[in-house]
Amino acid sequence: MNKKWFLIVSIVLIVIFLSLSLVFAAGLVRNKEALALSEELTKKLDYEITGLENKLEEKERENKSLKASLDNMEEHFRTHYTELVTESENKLEQIEKTRQEIYEMTERQEKKKTVDLGVFHAAAKELEDYIKKNSPLVRVPLSEKELEELEKDKKDKDEKIADHRWYKADKYIVDGKNALGQAYNDSLTLDEIVTPAGARAPRVAVYYEDILSGFKYAYNGDEVFDSASVMKAPYVTAILQALAEYESGELEIAEKDKEKYTPEYLAELFDLEQKVVLDHETMDEPGSGVLKDAEDGSEYTYKELLALSLKNSDNIAFALVKDRFTNKFYFDYTRKLGLRSPLSNYMHMSVNEAGEFFKNIYYFTLRDDEYGAFMRECMSDSAHLVLSASALGRDIVAHKYGWDIDAYHDAAIVYGERPYIAIVFTDIDSGGADADGFVRAIFKKIEKIHNLLG
């Protein structure tokens, strides 16, 4: 090979070597750039992975929280479901009970149509004749001189004075007939016999209602009496009903009363566990009760005072209750029932109005809560047992008696398969065996009327 070709070949090899070197160098540069890019991508990937891991952790936390919420919801649902099932069962039971009552009521009403009205009227006339002819007492007015003497002897100027005295009817009639020179006539009624000297037979009113059938009977039903302590039963019912409505959010307060009867005031007012400390100097009241013999400083909750008002007809307890609640709820209750006499004077009512009160008290005592049970227990555990409770005691008798000047009453709810209302109002205020026996006999004749319808 000549030098020329050697040179050419050398140049070509050098060029190839340089080209390869350049290519290799370029590759190295590109590898560095790729490596840098790779590192950057790796960092970004690590960042993304970290972000995803954080999100996954967050999602896991959310899932745990959601699971806990679902578990709570499930537990709440199970509990609520159980309560709903129980409530539904209770409602179904109540519906069935109401259905049965309606069925029985319908049956009674149908039966009432077929009652021998002649037999019923005979029993009613027997009761009315007994009232007119058989009162053991006669009411004789006092003279002005006798009233003046009573005023002088009277210590408590706030206490009412009777303007009359009571005589044994048989003695008065015999003496009166002898004085008049007239023959005694057994067919005459007391009203016909006791006219001399302004004397008269007692005023008497009677009410009966079969609750299931709605059958009613009244004698002097609209004649208004001083109700005495009989009104304590509807008064206490009105308070307990308002309390139950307050707790359920159903208590309606008139617009004119809202400024006073705020939620805070009502919460304080209806707290029956608040206590009163007995102070005879400022709290004593005349009349019946057990608190008059209790020691000063004795403590009583308002719930206990309500119970004493019903069971013992305690006047001190009732005065404390009335001071707290006033007549508002009693008057609201009276208006709802459409009654008038108690609105003109809270102590006034006829036996027809008392019948409406006590029928509603009966339904109140059927409530499935503490208030209905409380009312029934207190009225069934009365300390006064000589009238309706004695005459009608074969069944549970929840009643309220009243005794004051111009008033000797008892109003009863008689429970059993055929519950009924029996009420006797009189103006005999002397009490004692004669008056008690007379009133008991009237209750027995009411029971006879009831049994005729059974």
Q: Which band of pLDDT confidence, cut at 50, 70 and 90, is reported for residue 318?
A: very high
- Say yes or no to pLDDT of 177 above 80: no
Q: For residue 209, which of 439, 422, 438, 441 has the smallest C-alpha distance?
A: 422
Write down the pLDDT at residue 361.
97
Amino acid at residue number 42: T
Of the candidate ranges 103-117, 155-169, 277-291, the one whose mean pLDDT is the lowest = 103-117
- Say yes or no to pLDDT of 426 above 60: yes
- Say yes or no to pLDDT of 160 above 60: yes
Write down the pLDDT at residue 50.
76
Query: Average pLDDT of 357-366?
Result: 96
pLDDT tens for residues 181-232?
555 555 667 777 676 667 888 999 999 999 988 889 999 999 999 999 999 9
Write down the pLDDT at residue 145.
87
- Say yes or no to pLDDT of 313 above 70: yes
Centre a 10 Å sphere on the Cβ of residue 133 and count the other Cβ atoms it contains: 17
Can you give the pTM of this predicted structure?
0.74
Per cent of the chain over pLDDT 90 is: 53
pLDDT tens for residues 28-37?
556 566 566 6
Gap between the Cα atoms of 195 and 451, Å rounded: 36
Gap between the Cα atoms of 153 and 170, Å rounded: 30
Who has greater pLDDT, 17 or 53?
53
Query: Average pLDDT of 340-355?
Result: 97
Who has greater pLDDT, 6 or 233?
233
Amino acid at residue number 108: R
Query: Average pLDDT of 417-442?
Result: 94
Residue pair 244/362 in contact (Cβ under 8 Å)? The answer is: no
pLDDT tens for residues 259-283?
999 999 999 999 999 999 999 999 9
- Say yes or no to pLDDT of 24 above 80: no
Residue pair 361/413 in contact (Cβ under 8 Å)? The answer is: yes
- Say yes or no to pLDDT of 302 above 90: yes
Write down the pLDDT at residue 178.
61
Gap between the Cα atoms of 240 and 307, Å rounded: 12
Buried b (16+ CB within 10 A) or exposed e, 364-383: bbebeeebbebbbebbbebe
Gap between the Cα atoms of 157 and 182, Å rounded: 43
DSSP, residue by residue, 323-375: HHHTTHHHHHHHHHTT--HHHH-TTEE-HHHHHHHHHHHHHHHTSSSHHHHHH
Q: Give, in order, the Cα–Cα distances in Å from 413 to each of 223, 333, 356, 366, 421.
A: 21, 19, 12, 12, 5
- Say yes or no to pLDDT of 130 above 60: yes
Query: Average pLDDT of 99-123?
Result: 67
Centre a 10 Å sphere on the Cβ of residue 324 and count the other Cβ atoms it contains: 14
Domain 115-134+203-452 has CATH 3.40.710.10: yes
Question: What residues have CB less than 8 Å from 267, skipping those under 6 apart?
Answer: none
Token couple for 454: 């059974």
DSSP state of 216: E
Centre a 10 Å sphere on the Cβ of residue 253 and count the other Cβ atoms it contains: 17
| Opening angle at CA 312, ends 307 and 317, nearest 5 | 60
Amino acid at residue number 290: V
Query: Average pLDDT of 412-428?
Result: 95
Residue 424 φ then ψ, to 5°:
-130, 125
Residue pair 288/408 in contact (Cβ under 8 Å)? The answer is: no
Of the candidate ranges 105-114, 262-271, 399-408, the one whose mean pLDDT is the lowest = 105-114
Write down the pLDDT at residue 253.
94
Q: For residue 351, which of 162, 203, 235, 453 has the smallest C-alpha distance?
A: 203
Who has greater pLDDT, 397 or 100?
397
Token couple for 56: 């996954």
Gap between the Cα atoms of 403 and 392, Å rounded: 19
Crossing angle (nearest 10°) for helices 232-248 and 315-325? 40
Who has greater pLDDT, 249 or 111?
249
Instruction: List the alpha helices (DSSP H) in 203-301.
Output: 232-248, 263-269, 280-283
pLDDT tens for residues 218-250?
999 999 999 999 999 999 999 999 999 999 999
Centre a 10 Å sphere on the Cβ of residue 168 and count the other Cβ atoms it contains: 13
Q: Which band of pLDDT confidence, cut at 50, 70 and 90, is reported for residue 54?
A: confident
Return the domain boundaries, the chain: 1-114, 115-134+203-452, 137-198
Q: Which band of pLDDT confidence, cut at 50, 70 and 90, is reported for residue 174?
A: confident
Q: Which band of pLDDT confidence, cut at 50, 70 and 90, is reported for residue 167?
A: confident
- Say yes or no to pLDDT of 423 above 80: yes
DSSP state of 200: B
- Say yes or no to pLDDT of 413 above 90: yes
Q: Is 53 helix (H, G, I), strand (E, B) or coil?
A: helix
